[in-house]
Amino acid sequence: MQIQINEEKKELKQHGDYTFPVHLSGEMLSRYEGGSFFWHWHTEVELTLILKGQIEYRVNERTYHLKAGEGLFCNSNAMHAGKRIDNQDCQYFSVTFHPRFLYGFESSILQTKYVDPILNTSSFSSAALLPSENWGAKVVPLLEEIFGLYHTPSPDQELRLHILLSEIWRLLYGHFTSCSFKEPAFSDSIGRLKDILSFIQASYAKSITLAEIADYVHLSKSECCRFFKRHMNMTLFDYLLYYRIQQSLPLLREGLCTISKAAESCGFSNVCYYGKLFKRYMNCTPRQYQSRFRS
């Protein structure tokens, strides 16, 4: 599977509903194709607790290597992605909630004093929750308590979740106010990065040139390449190829077409080249991958 996103890389999955905008989920990287989930963003805040293994978690310009017992705060609207470390699986727990769950009424003092300052500080896109740090050592047990509620719901589940998330936010706010921030250069670039990713998503099935992408975001070809590599830690061409391979997986898995047609549908003009790249990224051939899902 992969995270479902729109052309702006916004995740389409609903995280709770208006009456209770909280979503709890147990996850494993092995459930995602290629052992990683794509860059995406959502308006909700996300808290992650690592249960087993390790994960390379990227949020905007920051990269975290997290292991069991550690966690992460990912701010609203921050771009984020995750992948395996040393090809080992990672089990983690995710708490995703809309900020209004904390403050209730629009323009309340809870919103304007305690929530909006964090949401509106682009240089505070994320923070590691580490037991070795005083505030992190207080947050992690609270996430573990929420994980317990996920497995064993209580009659007062919603109320307890509100209390626990409010306490986590209080600790987060204390950490936030103790830090000094300067506006990162990345804050001026995240829109451009989203534009590049959106262009690739909309155009991957046809031939794409570097000139087309660079023109779309008003950069020279060389600066476009440098910009993408600087923020994504991979070349633009490598990302395009990886994205095309990922988009071909459902076609193979669901038996919707032949391998040649799957390659062509995802922008590959040469099926042999497609097969070579598939083996590199998926550690198996397209036919081997396809055979896993045949009865």
Residue 15: is its pLDDT beyond 60?
no
Domain endpoint, select from 152, 178, 204: 178
The verdict on 74 and 205 lying in the same domain is no
The verdict on 172 and 30 lying in the same domain is yes
The verdict on 215 and 276 lying in the same domain is yes
Domain endpoint, select from 128, 157, 178: 178
87-134 pLDDT per residue, tens: 899 999 999 999 999 999 999 999 999 999 999 998 899 999 999 999
Element (H, E) at 276: helix 271-282
Band of pLDDT at residue 232, cut at 50, 70 and 90: confident
How many structural domains comprise the chain? Answer: 2
The verdict on 45 and 153 lying in the same domain is yes
Does residue 202 sit within a domain? yes
The phi-psi region of residue 32 (left if phi > 0; otherwise alpha if psi is between -120 and 50; otherwise beta) is: beta
The pLDDT value given to residue 60: 86
The pLDDT value given to residue 230: 83
Of 39-43, 88-92, 156-160, 199-203, the one with minimum mean pLDDT is 39-43
Q: Strand pairing of 71-74 and 62-67?
A: unpaired
Residue 12: is its pLDDT beyond 60?
no
Q: Compare 64 and 194 and report the one with higher pLDDT.
A: 64
Band of pLDDT at residue 41, cut at 50, 70 and 90: confident
Of 56-60, 70-74, 185-189, 194-198, the one with minimum mean pLDDT is 185-189
Does residue 60 sit within a domain? yes
Residue 13: is its pLDDT beyond 70?
no
Residue 49: is its pLDDT beyond 80?
yes
Tokens of 66: 């997290």
The pLDDT value given to residue 190: 78
Residue 6: is its pLDDT beyond 80?
no
Residue 18: is its pLDDT beyond 90?
no
The pLDDT value given to residue 10: 56
* Cβ atoms within 10 Å of 113's Cβ, excluding its own: 11
The verdict on 160 and 206 lying in the same domain is no
- The Cα 204–Cα 135 span in angstroms is 44
The verdict on 159 and 38 lying in the same domain is yes
Does residue 6 sit within a domain? no
Transcribe 76-132 into DSSP letters: TT--EEEE-BTTB-EEEEEEEE-THHHH-STT-HIIIIIIHHHHT-TT-SEEEE-TT
Domain range for 158 is 22-178
The verdict on 96 and 142 lying in the same domain is yes
Does residue 13 sit within a domain? no
Mean pLDDT of 168-173: 98
Does residue 1 sit within a domain? no
Residue 3: is its pLDDT beyond 90?
no
Domain endpoint, select from 178, 206, 237: 178
Element (H, E) at 214: helix 210-216
What's the CATH code of the domain at 142?
A: 2.60.120.280
With a pLDDT cut of 70, the percent of the chain lying above it is 92
The verdict on 173 and 31 lying in the same domain is yes
Phi, psi dihedrals of residue 67, rounded to the nearest 5°: -125, 175
The pLDDT value given to residue 199: 92
Band of pLDDT at residue 153, cut at 50, 70 and 90: very high
The answer to whether the CB of 281 falls within 8 A of the CB of 245 is yes
Does residue 14 sit within a domain? no
The verdict on 161 and 277 lying in the same domain is no
What's the CATH code of the domain at 220?
A: 1.10.10.60
Does residue 11 sit within a domain? no
Distance separating the N- and C-terminal Cα atoms of the chain: 19
Residue 184: is its pLDDT beyond 60?
no
The verdict on 163 and 126 lying in the same domain is yes
Does residue 106 sit within a domain? yes
The answer to whether the CB of 200 falls within 8 A of the CB of 246 is no
67-94 pLDDT per residue, tens: 999 999 999 999 899 999 998 999 999 9
* Average pLDDT in the chain: 90
Mean pLDDT of 247-275: 92
The verdict on 93 and 156 lying in the same domain is yes
